[in-house]
Amino acid sequence: MLSILFWMASMLFAYFVLKRLFLEQLYIDYVGKFVFITGCDSGFGRLLALRLLKMGVNVFAGCYTEFLQGCANILKQGRRIGRGQIHTVQIDITDDKSVMNARVIRLKYFQNAHLHGIVNNAGVFAIFGPDDWCSTEEYLASLNVNTLGAIRVCHKFLPLVKKCKGRVVTMGSTAGRLHGLYVGPYVTAKFAVEAYMDCLRLEMRPFGVSVHILEPGAFKTDLLSEEAQHARVNKIWEKVPSVVKNEYGEQFKENFKVAWQTGVDLVANPNLQWVVDNYVHALFGFWPRLR
């Protein structure tokens, strides 16, 4: 009996080593394929778009802003690279018409090209403080971007991905697996989008479409900047009823801001390319992980 258990454990270990060291290092042919990415204004989305262009992948880059860090800027950067094609579109994933417009523009410019992948990268970091400070407005704002935004994009672009048995890759979070203090709106939305993708994975399997979720921890992007965090907390504090303010006190708010930023400074990873590497593997790995 022990010898059988040892043999089974050895086979499982050998499979794990083979998968990690060999199968997961293989990639499918990616040159010339088309990928649509949301949230290319900055951070992971922008870095992924530029990485794919260098690889010879054609990128349809969705940006929330048209100028500054948005469409015009990444278009200029992308064209310098010169390998893959790049086209940009201004898109607000909280607006159904805007998402449909992005699909129409995509069909206009890439009529004869199948869409290999969707990358639901766009998101907001909805950290405001205790639930006592939040209204349904904060929850809806987070859900509208982090959950419903990804659903809108999938509804409009999945038919194009199904044609070539492509892939859907979505930015989840460790917050989509673990809860925490003072992160109600964000955690709720991340749990929800991961649940949606888990359902979608099963439904798309018969069509040959695979669905993948990235679950990074804290990384030093613009979403985690000290200025942005303080602005969110101060804005929500202004709307908190006087009774609740008296319960917590002004000092609690200030301590919360300092403690949160201290935690970010301690644990946030500055190497954004780690996440980009995982995006690329989810899109083009021969044996990509589901998470």
- Per-residue pLDDT, 196: 98
* Residue 39: how many other CB atoms lie within 10 Å: 26
Domain ranges of the chain: 28-219+270-284
CA 16 to chain centre: 27
| C-alpha closest to that of 184 among 132, 220, 147 | 132
Report d(CA 254, CA 250) in Å as an integer.
Answer: 7
The DSSP secondary-structure symbol of 41 reads: T
pLDDT tens track of the chain, all 291 residues?
667 665 666 666 665 555 566 566 788 899 999 999 999 998 999 999 999 999 999 999 999 986 556 788 888 888 888 788 999 989 999 999 999 988 887 776 666 678 999 999 999 887 788 999 999 999 999 999 999 999 999 999 999 999 999 999 999 998 788 888 888 999 999 999 999 999 999 999 999 999 999 988 877 777 777 888 888 888 999 999 999 999 999 999 899 888 888 887 887 778 889 999 999 999 999 989 888
- Per-residue pLDDT, 119: 98
Query: Of 30, 64, 182, 186, which one is the catalytic site residue?
Result: 186
Amino acid making up residue 225: S
* Joined tokens for residue 171: 């930015």
Q: Find the helix or strand (DSSP H, E) in which 276 lies.
A: helix 273-284
Measured at the CA of 111, the angle between CA 38 and CA 65, to 5 degrees, comes to: 25
Going across the sheet that includes 210-214, the strands are 86-90, 58-63, 34-37, 115-120, 167-171, 210-214
Catalytic annotation present for 186: yes
Fold of 28-219+270-284: Rossmann fold (3.40.50)
Using DSSP, state whether 171 is helix, strand or coil: strand
Q: Are 275 and 222 in contact (CB under 8 A)?
A: no
- Per-residue pLDDT, 248: 93
- Per-residue pLDDT, 111: 65
- Per-residue pLDDT, 38: 97
- Per-residue pLDDT, 268: 77
The DSSP secondary-structure symbol of 37 reads: E
CA 115 to chain centre: 18
| C-alpha closest to that of 34 among 8, 64, 57, 9 | 57
Report d(CA 20, CA 76) in Å as an integer.
Answer: 38
Which parts of 82-121 are beta strand (E)?
Answer: 86-90, 115-120
